[in-house]
Amino acid sequence: MATIIDGKKVSIELLKELQKKTDKLQKKPSIAVILANNDDASRIYVNSKEKQANILGYKSMVYKFEKTVKQEELIELINKLNNDSNVNAILLQLPLFNHLNENELIELINPIKDVDGFHPLNTGKLYSNLNPFAVCCTPKGIIKLLDYYKIDITGKNTLVIGRSNIVGKPMAALLTNRDATVTLAHSKSENLKEITKTKDIIISATGCPKLIKKDMVKQNSVIIDVGIVKQNNGKLMGDVDFENVKDKVSYITPVPGGVGPMTIACLMENTYELFLKQN
C-alpha cells in the first residue's frame, strides 16, 4: 500500500514558515489579481488566493471585469500595476474571456512582478536553468512535495502527461533541471500505456478522469495527480484511478488534498520572494 502524499500538511508547514518570515517584515507584500472570465472554478481559486493572502497579512486586490471588458482596459490596468511600487505581484487569472489576447497581456506584465512565472522571460530563464524571478506555482509545488517525501529525482525515469504552459511544460523543465530523464506525453502521444509502464515517477496533468489505471503503472512507482475535474455529484476527480492504483505504487497524491494546496502555498511564497527581490 502506497504512502499517501499529504499536500495539505506540507502546504500548512510551508505557510507557517512564510507567516513567520512575513511577520518580521515592516512593510507587507502585496498581490493584485485580475479576473476577467465567468469561470466558476476561477472565482473559487481567486477567493481562496485572496483568503490565504489576507491570513498572511499581505495586501491583496482583486480586479473583476465583466464580459464587456476591452483589451485596452486590461493593458491600462497592467501598466498601472507595473508602475505602482506598492504592488509586488500581478496575477492574471486564466483563462480570460475568449475575445481577449492572453499572450499580449502576459508579456506586458513586468517579469519581476510576474507571480505565476508565465512571462516569456521567466519561462526562458526556467528552460535555461537561470533563476527565474518566479517559477510556475503548480510545478514548483510538486517538486516541493517530492523533496519533502525525500523522493529521488536525479536520474529517474520520469513522465509528464500534458504539455500546457501552466503545468506540463514547466514541470518537464524543472525535472530536467533536477537531472531526471524526462518524457513529455500529450493527447497526440501514441500508446500511452507503453510509455507509462516503465516510469519511476509519473506526473499527470490532463483533466481526463481515471486516465491512469493500475495496469498502466510500474510496481512501486510514484504517482502525482494534478488533474481536477468536478463530477456531476460535486466530487472532485483526478487523472488517476486512485483506489486501484494506490495498491501498486509506493507514493501517490490524492485529489483533493494533494497538489492543489501546494499551488496556493507556492503562490504565496512567490509573492513573498518577489517582494524581497523588489526591496
Which CB, 77 or 175, lies closer to ligand NAD?
Answer: 175
Which residues ranging from 126 to 145 are in contact with ligand NAD (CB under 6 A)? 138
From 32-40, 57-65, 103-111, 187-195, give the range in contact with ligand NAD by CB under 6 A. 187-195
Residue 70 CB, shortest distance to ligand NAD, in Å, is 25
Among 111, 139, 162, 170, binds ligand NAD (CB under 6 A): 162
Residue 123 CB, shortest distance to ligand NAD, in Å, is 14
Which CB, 22 or 138, lies closer to ligand NAD?
Answer: 138
Q: Does 199 bind ligand NAD (CB under 6 A)?
A: no
Which residues ranging from 215 to 244 are in contact with ligand NAD (CB under 6 A)? 226-229
Residue 41 CB, shortest distance to ligand NAD, in Å, is 7
DSSP letters for the chain: -PEEP-HHHHHHHHHHHHHHHHHT-SSPPEEEEEE-S--HHHHHHHHHHHHHHHHHT-EEEEEE--TT--HHHHHHHHHHHHH-TT--EEEEESSPPTTS-HHHHHHHS-GGGBTT--SHHHHHHHHTTS--SS--HHHHHHHHHHHHTT---TT-EEEEE---TTTHHHHHHHHHHTT-EEEEE-TT-S-HHHHHTT-SEEEE-S--TT-B-GGGS-TT-EEEE---EE-TTS-EE-SB-HHHHTTT-SEE--SSSSHHHHHHHHHHHHHHHHHHHH-
Residue 24 CB, shortest distance to ligand NAD, in Å, is 28
Is 93 annotated as catalytic?
A: yes
Which CB, 5 or 87, lies closer to ligand NAD?
Answer: 5
Catalytic residues: 49, 93, 116
Which residues in this chain contact ligand NAD in the complex, by CB under 6 A? 138, 161-164, 166-168, 185-187, 189, 192, 205-208, 211, 226-229, 259-260, 263
